[in-house]
Amino acid sequence: MANFTLPPLPYSYDALEPHIDARTMEIHHTKHHQAYTDGLNKALGGLGPEWQSKNDVIDVLKNIDSVPENAKGAVNFHGGGYNNHALFWNSMKKGGGGEPDGELANAIKKAFGSFNDFKTKFQTDSVAIQGSGWGWLVKNSSGGVQFITMPNQTSPWTRWNKEKLVPLLGLDVWEHAYYLKYQNKRADYVTAWWNVVNWDEVKKRFQQA
Ligand SMILES: [Fe+2]
């Protein structure tokens, strides 16, 4: 049996109030993220010892094409959900928001024109995702940044072998991320979410990528 565990939330459930409410955070972390954790362990647990012994989910996602067909879909979904949510929690904080400076700011300006143009693109295209998925700012193989959307829980890491994309900042637009507080108003959730983005963490990922 693979042995992934639910990563702790790096702040309290009410830390992101009023932008993201405590009840949503608690259910999102203890129910949804836990379910992806359990699902990943179960999917890998049905495979041979070389998969059961994996302890680096990013390594698993980068090599999704090597996962046996009978488990590939489940590993893609639950492994993606496991890593996406860990990234998500860490890219938010109480008193976040604003905009980055330094090299990341320059890369955003180069790719999108300005920080405001980036925000507009990120928000518009994330809100427009049909059904469930994620909007992502990623670093590409040229060292620049770009915006992509990914369906369901499929991770940007699964595009590693072809495109060498590194996820920097992801936005969960599944209804479970916002429905209790915002109901059908996904755009209002995204507008509020900008206030909790942890740009120091995103800058760190950009520098380390
Ligand atoms: Fe989620």
| pLDDT tens by residue, the chain, 209 residues | 689 999 999 999 999 999 999 999 999 999 999 999 999 999 999 999 999 999 999 999 999 999 999 999 999 999 999 999 999 999 999 999 999 999 999 999 999 999 999 999 999 999 999 999 999 999 999 999 999 999 999 999 999 999 999 999 999 999 999 999 999 999 999 999 999 999 999 999 999 99
- Residue ranges of domains in the chain, CATH in brackets: 22-90 (1.10.287.990), 102-208 (3.55.40.20)
Q: Give distance in angstroms: CA of 30 to centre of ligand 1.
A: 11
Q: Which residues surround ligand 1, an ion (CB under 5 A)?
A: 172, 174, 177
Distance in Å, CA 170 to ligand 1 centroid: 11
Considering only CA atoms, which of 1, 5, 2, 26 is closest in space to residue 16?
A: 26
CA distance 165 to 159: 6
Distance 24 CA to ligand 1 centre (A): 10
Cα(35) to ligand 1 centroid in Å equals 10
Distance 110 CA to ligand 1 centre (A): 30
Residue 9: phi, psi to the nearest 5?
-70, 135
Rounded to the nearest whole angstrom, what is the distance from the C-alpha of residue 194 to the centroid of ligand 1?
17
The terminus-to-terminus CA distance of the chain in angstroms comes to: 31
pTM of the predicted structure, to 2 decimals: 0.97
* Dihedral sign computed on CA atoms, order 97, 103, 106, 110: negative
Q: Which burial class, exposed, middle or buried, applies to 162 when counting CB atoms under 10 A from its CB (0-12, 13-18, 19+)? A: exposed
Q: What is the spatial distance between Cα 57 and Cα 80, in angstroms, rounded to a whole number?
A: 8
191 Cα to the center of ligand 1, angstroms = 17
Distance CA 10, CA 33 (A): 14
Longest CA–CA span in the chain (Å) reads 49
Q: Which two tokens stand for residue 186?
A: 């996904």
